[in-house]
């Protein structure tokens, strides 16, 4: 059976705050770190692998660690909440109320769990920085990456039907398409980043890492449309009942 949440637990018309805050927190954190690094003259940190452009983990290991810690924890917390409500919104009768095959419902559950793993991994990454806990950081980076890739791919699979065929939920379809495009762009960038890094094209790989990180904010923002109460598919009495619930 698909997961269910009682009506009084989540104010439906405020669910969009999870992805909105997650995206804003991640974007501001990255921008503040990058601008601070540039303003300081692009210093090289101890143990920095890229001799030209510091990776995000390098900046988050030294004087910018407090910023990375706060921003990372806030982003990860809202990201985990986002991945949970995105999956539940598909099956909840107060949102989309879709009927899926059992296998897709299980895919949805795994996507949800993978998002939680990725979020917890990011929190630990901000705490166990790459300079003081180099080996642990490398393991956590892999775990976070696998969790993130899994939840992105599986969420795309779950919502793919809203992408490739006409949907009664126009806003959802537009956001699904946006999400798929970002996933494809990140896949191409990820392959290019890893390949260029292995070939020691440090400057280009450094730029690609930061670019991929910033696209993550837009990926999170795309979920705002996933968790808005749809205008289509809900009759007037149901909508008024939801509004009354939110007012109380």
- Give the whole-number percent of the chain exceeding pLDDT 90: 67
Going from the C-alpha of 205 to that of each of 116, 160, 191, the distances in angstroms are 28, 31, 10
Let me know if residue 2 belongs to a domain: no
> Is a pLDDT exceeding 80 seen at residue 239?
no
Let me know if residue 74 belongs to a domain.
yes
How far is residue 243's CA from residue 192's CA, in Å, rounded to a whole number?
47
- How far is residue 130's CA from residue 136's CA, in Å, rounded to a whole number? 8
| 28-50 residue pLDDT tens | 999 999 999 999 999 998 888 89
Cα 174 to its chain centre, rounded Å, is: 18
Q: Which is it for the CA torsion 118, 124, 128, 134, positive or negative?
A: negative
d(CA 118, CA 105) in angstroms, rounded, equals 20
* pLDDT of the residue at 171: 86
pLDDT band at 210 (very low <50, low <70, confident <90, very high): very high
Does the structure show a pLDDT above 60 at 241?
no
**At residue 114, does pLDDT exceed 80?**
yes
What band does 131 get if pLDDT is binned at 50, 70 and 90?
A: confident
Domain that holds residue 70: 12-247
> How many folded domains does the chain comprise?
1
What pLDDT, on the 0 to 100 scale, is given for residue 74? Answer: 97
Is residue 213 in some structural domain? Answer: yes
The pLDDT value recorded for residue 130 is: 86
230 domain residue, yes or no: yes
- Domain assignment of residue 227, yes or no: yes
Distance separating alpha carbons of residues 206 and 102, to the nearest angstrom? 42
Tell me, yes or no, whether 197 lies in a domain: yes
Residue 23 placed within a domain: yes
Alpha carbon of 159 to those of 29, 34, 80, 98, 107: distances in Å? 29, 34, 18, 10, 11
**Residue 3 placed within a domain:** no
> What is the pTM assigned to this prediction?
0.86
């Amino acid at each position: 059976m698909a997961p269910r949440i009682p009506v009084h637990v989540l104010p439906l018309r405020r669910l969009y705050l999870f992805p909105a805050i997650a995206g804003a927190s991640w974007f501001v954190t990255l921008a503040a770190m990058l601008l601070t690094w540039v303003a300081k003259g692009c210093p090289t940190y101890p143990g920095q692998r890229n001799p030209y452009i510091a990776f995000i983990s390098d900046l988050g290991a030294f004087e910018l660690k407090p910023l990375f810690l706060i921003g990372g924890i806030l982003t990860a917390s809202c990201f985990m909440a986002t991945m949970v409500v995105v999956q539940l919104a598909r099956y909840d009768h107060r949102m989309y109320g879709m009927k899926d095959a059992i296998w897709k419902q299980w895919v949805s559950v795994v996507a949800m769990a993978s998002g939680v793993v990725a979020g917890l991994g990011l929190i630990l990454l901000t705490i166990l920085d790459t300079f003081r806990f180099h080996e642990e950081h490398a393991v956590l980076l892999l775990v976070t990456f696998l969790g993130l890739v899994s939840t992105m791919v599986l969420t795309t699979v779950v919502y793919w039907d809203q992408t490739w065929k006409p949907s009664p939920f126009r806003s959802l379809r537009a956001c699904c398409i946006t999400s798929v495009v970002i996933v494809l762009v990140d896949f191409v960038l990820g392959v290019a980043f890893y390949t260029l890094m292995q070939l020691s094209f440090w400057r280009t790989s450094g730029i690609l890492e930061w670019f991929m990180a910033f696209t993550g904010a837009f990926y999170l923002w795309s979920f705002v449309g996933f968790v808005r109460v749809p205008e289509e598919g809900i009759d007037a009495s149901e909508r008024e009942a939801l509004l009354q619930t939110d007012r109380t």
